[in-house]
């Protein structure tokens, strides 16, 4: 049973009609779910049911960040399935031949990621530098991305990273106990800077903790940038990562998280001073 999921804040609910409906038509899932953040009043829910399709399941919360939404959605999905879930970013539409790529990649261990054609047209060097080509007889560019790279303790860039995630397929969900421990580490970040840690970081971390070294990826979606993003202060980004790393260290006691903390604590001090 394939479940199709997207997630978005309340102020972007129009993207369900603009993009997610198209993904449903192309993928034809058994079930579709939309997780909507920043919901704190019944009037918001009533409005959603007036303007959005009624044959989709809507799950509401006031989680306050992308990662909190991801963590809640993974917990929610445990009550429905143990995997076979396709997450699509709310401002993305998969390519018409997406299922061809899905059938090619869905047998890989934990799952795969998808890059959009628009990012690929700019060569995506930041992804390729950490990726290895996978040979296949389909003539399709397929790569595998290293989710944990110790070189990034001493250079700019993320230590834990999923790679492309315009679409994320999870063949199996991470262990629930693992999700709970990562959640406890994440809430160590003060709420107003939690959104400064990317969901690619969370997914890469969960993959690494699940024993996964590489995530396969290819190009099979179109990205319609929503335009509501804002640049963030480097000091605050480093602070968020340092607090996350500290929380992870308390939960897992792994030396990798201590080094993760030291990297971003150093960056934070450098940029703040």
Residue 121 sits in a domain whose CATH number is 3.90.550
Please check whether residue 195 lies inside any domain of the structure.
no
d(CA 8, CA 18): 13
d(CA 216, CA 207): 12
For residue 218, give Cα distances in angstroms to 61, 99, 100, 266. 32, 12, 12, 35
Indicate the helix (H) or strand (E) that contains 242: helix 234-252
Domain count, the chain: 1
DSSP H helix total and E strand total for the chain: 11, 10
Please check whether residue 47 lies inside any domain of the structure.
yes
Residue ranges of the chain whose pLDDT lies below 50: none
Please check whether residue 159 lies inside any domain of the structure.
yes
- Domain range for residue 67? 3-176+200-229
Residue-level pLDDT at 230: 61
Please check whether residue 77 lies inside any domain of the structure.
yes
Please check whether residue 82 lies inside any domain of the structure.
yes
Q: Is 228 exposed, middle or buried (0-12, 13-18, 19+ CB in 10 A)?
A: exposed
d(CA 144, CA 155): 21
Residue-level pLDDT at 231: 66
Please check whether residue 172 lies inside any domain of the structure.
yes
Residue-level pLDDT at 120: 93
Nearest Cα neighbor of 235 from 227, 243, 223, 246 is 243
Please check whether residue 165 lies inside any domain of the structure.
yes
Residue-level pLDDT at 228: 62
Please check whether residue 191 lies inside any domain of the structure.
no
d(CA 73, CA 53): 20
């Amino acid at each position: 049973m394939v479940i199709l999921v997207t997630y978005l804040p309340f102020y972007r609910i129009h993207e369900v009609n603009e993009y997610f409906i198209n993904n449903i038509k192309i993928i034809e899932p058994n079930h579709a779910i939309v997780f909507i953040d920043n919901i704190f009043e019944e009037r918001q829910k009533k409005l959603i049911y007036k303007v959005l399709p009624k044959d989709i399941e809507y799950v509401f919360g006031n989680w306050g960040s992308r990662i909190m939404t991801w963590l809640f959605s993974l917990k929610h999905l445990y009550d429905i399935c143990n995997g076979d879930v396709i997450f699509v970013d709310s401002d993305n539409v998969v390519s018409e031949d997406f299922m061809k790529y899905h059938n090619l990649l869905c047998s890989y261990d934990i799952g795969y990621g998808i890059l959009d054609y628009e990012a690929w047209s700019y060569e995506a060097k930041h992804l390729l530098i950490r990726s290895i080509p996978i040979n296949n007889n389909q003539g399709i560019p397929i790569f595998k991305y290293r989710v944990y790279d110790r070189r990034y303790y001493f250079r700019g860039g993320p230590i834990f990273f999923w790679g492309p995630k315009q679409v994320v397929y999870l063949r199996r969900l991470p262990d629930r106990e693992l999700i709970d421990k990562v959640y406890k580490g994440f809430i160590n970040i003060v709420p107003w800077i939690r959104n400064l840690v990317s969901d690619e970081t969370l997914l890469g971390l969960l993959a690494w903790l699940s024993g996964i070294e590489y995530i396969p990826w290819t190009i099979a979606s179109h990205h319609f940038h929503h335009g509501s993003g804002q640049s963030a202060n480097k000091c605050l980004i480093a602070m968020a990562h340092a607090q996350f790393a500290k929380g992870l260290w308390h939960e897992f006691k792994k030396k990798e998280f201590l080094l993760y903390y030291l990297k971003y604590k150093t960056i934070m001090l450098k940029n703040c001073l």
